[in-house]
Structure formats: C-alpha cells, structure tokens
Chains A and B, each alone.
Chain A
Amino acid sequence: MDFIRDYSLVLIFFILPIIFVLQPLLLDRIKNVDSKIDLSSLKRKKRLLYRQIKELEMEFDIGNVNKDDFEIARKDLKIEVSEVIATLNKK
C-alpha cells in the first residue's frame, strides 16, 4: 500500500505539473494576443488619465496649482484622453 501511495504522490506532485507546463508547446500557434492586450492597456490608460484629471482638479481646488498651470495641464490631459478614446473606438 505504501508503494502505491508513494507513487500516486509522485504522479500528482511531479508528473502533473510537468504535463501542465509542456501542454502549450503542443498547441498550434497562438494568435491575436497583441490586439487583446492593446485594448486592455488602452482601457487602463483611459482610467488613469481620468484619475489624473480628477486629482488635478482637487489640487486646483485646494490651491496647490495656479489657474494658468491648471488650465494648460487639464487641456493636455483632455487631449490625451480623447486620443485614447478615439483609438479605442477604432478598435
């Protein structure tokens, strides 16, 4: 019984991970990964830019950024976010 138990453990703990690791190499070529990744990173970039706009507004409201700087920075961020949205819409 010990023999069977030991070899079952070997199978579970050592052989299965090796099969798991080698499995992708048996697949056909994987395609279309880049477009999915691009989409996800663009969405994250959009979220980050929205967050930066909100933080900038907060800095302005409490007086840490002067009006001229605030308007220039907000304009730049808005241009950037609209470019990201446009790219997202194209995809």
Chain B
Amino acid sequence: MTPIAGGVALNLAFGFSILTIIVLFLYTRYGDERLFLTGQRLALGVSFFVFLATFILSYQLLISNFDIDYVARYTSLETPFIYKISALWAGQSGSLLFWLFILSIYATITILQNQSKHHTLMPWVIICLAIIQLFFLVLTNFITNPFMPTEAEFIVTNGNGLNPLLQNVTMAIHPPTLYLGYVGFSVPFAFAISALINKDTSPLWIQSIRRWTLVAWLFLSSGIILGGWWAYQELGWGGYWAWDPVENASFMPWLTATAFLHSIIIQEKKDMLRIWNMVLIILTFTLCIFGTFLTRSGVMSSVHSFTASSLGPIFLVFVFLILIVSFSIMYINRNDLKSKKRMESFTSRESGFLFNNLVFVVMCFSVFWGTLFPVISEAVRGTKITVGPPFFNQINIPIGLILLALTGIGPLLAWRKTGKQSLIKNFTFPILSGLIGASFFIFIGLKGTVVISFSLCVFVLATISKEFARGILARTKKFNETIITAFYRMISKNRSRYGGYIVHVGIVFMFVGFTGHAFDKEKEFSLKVGETDHVAGYEFTLLKMSESERPNHYAWISDIRVTDNKGAFVTNLYPEKRVYFHKNPDVNRRQPHSELDIYSTLNQDIYSIFSAVDTENSIAFIKIMVNPLVRWVWIGGYILVIGTMIALWPRKD
C-alpha cells in the first residue's frame, strides 16, 4: 500500500496547494476570517502530505523496495544505511521532493510562528509559498514522480547502488545544508512580495525577514563550505573551488543575499534603499531557483551534477515568471517604495554599505556571465566556448580584494557623515597595521596579489580589533564594568553587530586560505614497495600495499611514510584505490574510485591520491600535492558559522 500512498499524498498536496491559493485569495477580497483560517490549515495540509510522501519514500529506500524505480536506481542491497537515506536527494525526482520537503518545513514554521503576527501580510506570504510549493508539486506529480514503479519486466533483485562519489559523509550532509539555504530564501521573498502588495514599509516585517535571511544565509554558506570540503577530500584534484557551474549556482545567490543582509541594515536604521532591497531579495530567490535549474537540468556539465533531464525549460519558465511578476508588482508600487531620505556624504557608513552592495552585485554578474557564457556562445555562434577558472580568477580576485578592503573600511565610517578628524582617528591604527604587515610580507619575499591580500587581512583584523576595543572601552567607562564583563555584555546586547564582526573574522581567515593557493606544489610518480620520491622538501616512501574486501567495494591500500628534508618522521598516509560494485558480473558496471588521504596542519596540507594500481607488478601510481594554508579556509568556515549563530541567537527583551 505504502508506495501508492506516497503518490496519493503528492496528489493531495497538489490539490491542497491550489485550494490554499484560491481560498486565501478570496480572503484578501472578502476578509472573512474563516477563509483565512481554512487557508492556513490548507497550507499546513500541503506540508503534511509532503512530509508523508517524503517519509514514505525514505522508508522504501531503507527497506530496499526495488519495485519503485527510484529505489532501484539509487540504492542496492549493499548500500550502507546512511547512504540509503542520502539517496533521497541523490536523484532527480527524490531531490525535487526533498526541496519540497524543506520548503514545507519552512512554510509550516512560518505559519505557526506568525499566527498572531503580520496579520495583513500573512495571506500573501502563504499564497507565495503555496505557489512555489505548487511548482514543485507539478514537477513531482506529473514530470518526475519519485514513486514510479520499476519499468523492468522481471523482478528486480538488486538495485544500481549509489554513485561512489556520493558515498561520503560530507556528501550526506552537504546537499541538505545547501537546500536549507536555497529554500530558506523563499520565506523572505514571500514576505517581500506580500509587503509590496500590502504597501507595508514598516520596520517590523523587515526585522522578521532579516532573521529568516540570516538563517538561509547560514545554511547556504555552510552548504557552500561543505561542498568545497567534499570536493577537496573526494574529487582528487587538490582544490576546493573550481568555478564549476554548480558551485557558481550556489555562489550567486550567496553574493546577492550577503549584499541584502548588509543593505537591509540601512533600511532598518535609516529607512533608505527600499527599492534596492526589494531588487536584491527578488534576485536572491530567483538565483536560488536558477541554481536548482543549473544543477537539475543538465544544461551545464559539472562535477557536482549527478542528474540530467529535460526539466530545464520548465524551470526557465518559472524563473522568468518570478522575475516578471515580482518586478511588475514592484513597478506598480514604486511610489510607496521611494524613501524620503538621501545619502548625505560619501564618507558615511550608508555609502560604505551601498558601495559594498554594488561590488557584490558586480561580482554576481561576472559569475553569472562566466557561467552562462558557454550556453550563450552556443546559442549565438553555434560553438560552445567554455570559460574556465582563469577567467573567473582574473575578474573575481580583484573584486574579492575590494570587498575585503571594504570589510575593513565600513566599520570605521560613522553614520550620516564622518568628519576629517574622525577619519584620521579611526583609520590610523588599521592602515598602519596593514602597512607594517605589507612591509613584513615583502621582506620575507612575497610579491604581488599575495602581499595585497595578506596585508588587507591584517588591515581588516586591525579594524575589527579596534571595533571590539572601542565597544569594551565605552562600556567600561559608562557602566564601570571589568573588561571581561564588558566584552561579554557588549556581545550579548549587540549580537547582530558583533556576530557580524565575528563572521568578518571568518571571512579574513578564508582569504588567508585562498591566498595560500598561490604556493601549491604537486608531483605524480609511481612507487614499488620500498621505493622513495620527493615533493616540496618531503620524502615519500611506499612501505606496503594491502588489499581489503568491504561490503560495497574492494580496496587496495597504500601505506606511505612521509619524512621531512631532515629525515624526521612527519606522518603515514593511507590513500586507497577502490572498485565499487566489485561483485557485479558486468565488468563495465564496476566503478573505480580513488580515496584520498590528507595530512593537514595549520601551515599546509599533504594531499595524497592513489591514482592507479598495477597489481601484477605491485606498483602504486601516486599523486602528491602540498597545499599551504588550506586549513584556514575551514577554520574561517567554522568562525563564520559561530558568528552567524551569535547574530541569530534570540535576545531577551
């Protein structure tokens, strides 16, 4: 019964979502509270049926019911428990259901949280969310249904199993995190559209969506970092970011969302940039749908895309509809969005924020252009011209450095206008720190962009330290507190501000890690047991090569001893060459895979890849990469998450 129940649940969710839209629309016309209550409950019903369908599919994956095509395609009897769960988002229809599932969680929270809040906004908020749910329900009901039965004319005794690249714990966490980010922007988008329709420009809803945006931003940032971590430890090319279309798809909404998070502060505090904020949140949500389109349509080839389908045109139509409808509503209500206040000075925090916003949007456009250029060139000239990392790096490194500089400049500017004396007073310490840093980096032999990047990191850290010091001093003076008490109370009473600064520290550490990429070294070689080779001052000796048969793969494991140039022991590395589905009688269905081993320190990573094995002659083909400062990227990521959580933590009023 249950697989059929899954399909029926999706049908009912589809019907309920249409009813939600109709009933709430009638409420906005006639104002009968019974309609509002029914609409709310219908929307909760949509979520309930989506939860039910997701639960049923997950259960079918766990019990390996190969009568369902999706289960047979993405799991096998050998698939470990955790990957049977993660198979839910490994394929097309499952991942769309999963998108819908997360959206339904958000929709439920939004409805329950706002039962006695935003009464005028909520009908349109729910309508917007129901329309987005309806789109995904159309896909999962009529285009790519996850409950379709297996087409084979025989009893399927075992499934295909999950792609080995996806059999990684990070990969089990990364897509849900990223989806929580993508989908999370639906809520601020829905609030923004509702506020536009209701001509509501009060700061109350802005405060609500700021929190929602921060939640979505936290998940999107964590998802991007986890994706980089997965690529680094699983794909075996030694990097974490390759300007791949799917990576870019998540980066673009991150850029506009980051701009939005900054500019909404101006609207909250100064009631400025209303139109700009609307544009940013509409763009962010549209880019999230566009990102799902890039990942799911197969229009771009990507190391992160594990599905290809004909969903592209449907997604594109939805993207255009969002843009046309949203900007039309905005145009109709343009007079209500005009702010009475104007920027008064170039040297003000407001203009600092605006400039930072413009740079974020320029960066987003450059990534958008580079990502879509192959498709555009093919459409216009008939030849697919791919732009690779050199294009993106050439444009985005300078823009990134400008953003880094602005991270340091912004907090030093006062609201409305910064006087000449204040400018000198505020900038002296950070600029001096940056210059001392630059002299030191040049002295130790660094050059060019590397010096600029490291010096800017010093400059920004100096600014943030100064901000913390100013805050602590002000409290110790005003409230006669000790430094520790002042530090604690300053953060707890201004979580959003100081959480933001902590996020900036995380970003600085990530830039330190990015800059380390300039010093990467690599070498490929083959070793027999007992043989040695050298890379970047380290000696690599193959001590032994063993074999092991595990539940879902067969592995050759190399044991490599690493010593430094003085002969001191550093570590042992155990990279593996694996063959997944090794028991499959069809040799072509067996999948080779290299499992890396990484020795990581704050200074550098030693990254080993077991590329191939010659079993007859016991030769291991090894690739070693020495990547300086990579760990700072992940440390920066942790700090970013901590900072955002501080900013998000509820405060006592």
Contacts and interface: CB of A to CB of B under 8 A. Distances in A.
B8 interface: yes
A67 to B, nearest CB: 12
Contact of A27 (B34, B117, B497): B34
A28 to B, nearest CB: 9
Task: Select the residue from A6, A41, A44, A62 with max chain B CB neighbours within 10 A.
Answer: A62
B5 A13 contact: yes
B20 to A, nearest CB: 9
Given A22-B38, A37-B119, A48 B203 contact: yes
Contacts, number: 96
Contacts of A37: 116-117, 119
A77 to B, nearest CB: 11
A40 B42 CA distance: 25
Contacts of B117: 37, 40-41, 44
B392 to A, nearest CB: 36
Contacts of B414: 63-66
A60 B467 CA distance: 13
Interface in B448-496: 467, 470-471, 473-475, 477-478, 493-494
Interface in A27-67: 27, 29-31, 33-34, 36-37, 40-41, 44-45, 47-48, 50-52, 54-55, 58-59, 61-66
B33 A64 contact: no
Given A14-B12, A21-B42, A30 B34 contact: yes
8 contacts: A13-B5, A17-B48, A18-B45, A25-B38, A31-B33, A36-B116, A59-B415, A66-B416
B207 interface: yes
Given A25-B34, A29-B33, A62-B470, A14 B8 contact: yes
Nearest to A39: B116
A47 B207 CA distance: 12
B372 interface: no
Contacts of A33: 33, 119
Contacts of B475: 61
B191 interface: no
A48 to B, nearest CB: 6
A1 interface: no
B41 interface: yes
B349 interface: yes
A83 interface: no
Given A6-B1, A29-B33, A66-B414, A48 B207 contact: yes
Top 10 closest A-B pairs, CB basis?
A: A30-B33, A24-B37, A61-B474, A37-B119, A62-B470, A21-B41, A64-B414, A24-B38, A62-B474, A47-B653
B42 A29 contact: no
Contacts of A71: none
- Interface size range of chain A in the complex: 35 or more
A64 B349 contact: yes
A9 interface: yes
B316 to A, nearest CB: 34
Interface residues of B, number: 46
B203 A9 contact: no
Interface in B551-583: none
A23 B12 CA distance: 18
A54 B489 CA distance: 13
A66 B1 contact: no
B49 interface: yes
B503 to A, nearest CB: 18
B52 interface: yes
Given A21-B45, A30-B33, 15 more contacts: A6-B1, A14-B8, A17-B49, A21-B16, A24-B38, A41-B117, A45-B202, A48-B207, A50-B653, A55-B494, A55-B497, A58-B471, A64-B349, A64-B414, A65-B416
Nearest to A52: B269
Interface string B1-27: 100010011001000100000000000
Nearest to B119: A37
Given A27-B34, A29-B33, A69-B416, A63 B422 contact: yes
Contacts of A41: 117-119, 204
